[in-house]
Structure 1
Amino acid sequence: MSKTVRITIAGFGGQGVMMLGQVIAHAGARMNLNSLWYPSYGPETRGGTANCAVTVSTDAINSPVFARADVLFALNKPSFARFKEKVAPGGIILYNSSLISDADGGENVKAYGVPANDIATALGNIRVANMVMLGAYLALSSFFTEEVIEDVLRDFLGGKKEGMIAINAEAIKAGRRHIEEGKK
């Protein structure tokens, strides 16, 4: 059976947009699926805009570009405004409700607010807000398993950043809990 997920991840530079996309793409590859990560940068400084497209599929991926995403991770308000109309009917929008207060995803799209910055700050490191968002997605989708994601994180954060593995894993669990407990 054919299975594909197209994901747009967008936010300010420094929010971990690119790392989040790479983790998802590598998780797909780890699962022996076709996987593609396509970055797009605004001004290449911290605080500039950044977004990436990720496609993971059982089928061949013919293009890194897609018209409609199945999932949108909106880490800030400008990104939400820019990409919300590009989510396919039946799609999911995960938005960082720490920075986006009034988010309407439109008809035929489910929008979930995740206070990623607040949760990450409570965990002791604002830089894991991206992993909070990933955990929320894992609660809503069976496409990836938490175990595969954590394996990829160990690869990404080995060496000098090895001390970050535990807090990233905890951030994923906290994001998952937020959705599973029915918070919005």
Structure 2
Amino acid sequence: MERAVIMTGIGGQGIQLIAKLLAQAGIREGRQVMMFGIFMGMIRGGSSESTVVIADDEIVTPPIVPEVWGVLAMHPEGLPALAKKARPGGVLLLNSSLVVASPAWDGVRRIAVPATDMAKEMGQVMAASMIALGAFAGATGLVAVESLQAALGDVLPPHRRKLIDTNRACIAKGAEYVAAHDIGAALPG
């Protein structure tokens, strides 16, 4: 099995961080992993995108992929361009707090999670991407939620490590959301 996932949003939403977290969780599970991040400017509000490829065997996909199995979209910025990369049988997880409309993607399973609203309710608006990543893991089974939580110490910078427990709770909240809404794991394809 080889899965390519693109995470997209804007600067300040934690796209590069959750991509590193997904990659590290895959490594913790003994899988092969490749990651490639792109961000337009080093300021909040610029476009941010990262591709993570996770495989059971040697990765044959280049880091810039022509098609992807999964998309995690935190913001509508750049989302229309990704429609042509989405592979039928894949999954699109939308932060429905900010992405209110998206193009129809034939054969792609759409999952709407109000990640920003959930983060606000938890008093952790900066952790919306962690909620979305937890939901993505819970809905797809790509990596275990516990692997994401365990990898936080590997990817959070020292000045953010005091937030490990908060981020673990946000990841769990996302997974709980998809479980409560009967969004099953282990998508085929």
Q: TM-score, normalised by structure 2?
A: 0.89
Share of identical aligned residues, percent? Answer: 25
Q: Which residue of 1 aligns with 2:147?
A: 148
1:97-119 CA deviation, whole Å, 9 max, x = no partner?
A: 11111234422001111111101
Distance 1:136 1:147 in 2: 12
Of 9, 12, 16, which residue of structure 2 is paired with 1:11?
A: 9
Deviation track 1:113-172 (CA, whole Å, cap 9, x = no partner) reads 111110111111211111111111122122311221111102223743222111111111
Secondary structure at 1:28 match in 2: helix
SS of the residue 1:89 aligns to: strand
Equivalent residue letter for 1:168: N
Counterparts of 1:118 and 1:13, CA distance in 2 = 18
Q: Tell me if structure 2 keeps the 8 A contact 1:35–1:56.
A: yes
The more displaced of 22-31 and 154-163 is 154-163
TM-score, length basis structure 1: 0.92
Deviation per residue, 1:8-55 (Å, 9 max, x gap): 001001100000110111111112211111011212311100101100
Q: Deviations over 1:73-118 (max 9, x none)?
A: 1111123222123110011000111111123442200111111110
Matched-pair contact (CA < 8 Å) for 2:138–2:144: no
Note the C-alpha offset of 1:183: 7.8
Counterparts of 1:82 and 1:158 in 2: how far apart (Å)? 32
> What is residue 108 of structure 1 aligned with on the other side?
107
Separation in structure 2 between the aligned mates of residue 146 and residue 174 of structure 1, nearest angstrom? 10
Task: State the superposition RMSD in angstroms.
Answer: 1.7
Residue number in structure 2 paired with 1:49: 47
The correspondence of residues 51-70 of structure 1 with structure 2, limited to 5 A, is 51-62=49-60, 63-70=62-69
- The within-5 A match list for 1:84-103 is 84-103=83-102
Report how many residues are paired.
Answer: 182
The aligned runs of 1:75-90 (5 Å cut-off) are: 75-90=74-89
Contact 2:8/2:72, CA 8 A, preserved across alignment: yes
SS in 2 for 1:94: strand
Counterpart Cα distance in 2 of 1:158 and 1:48: 21
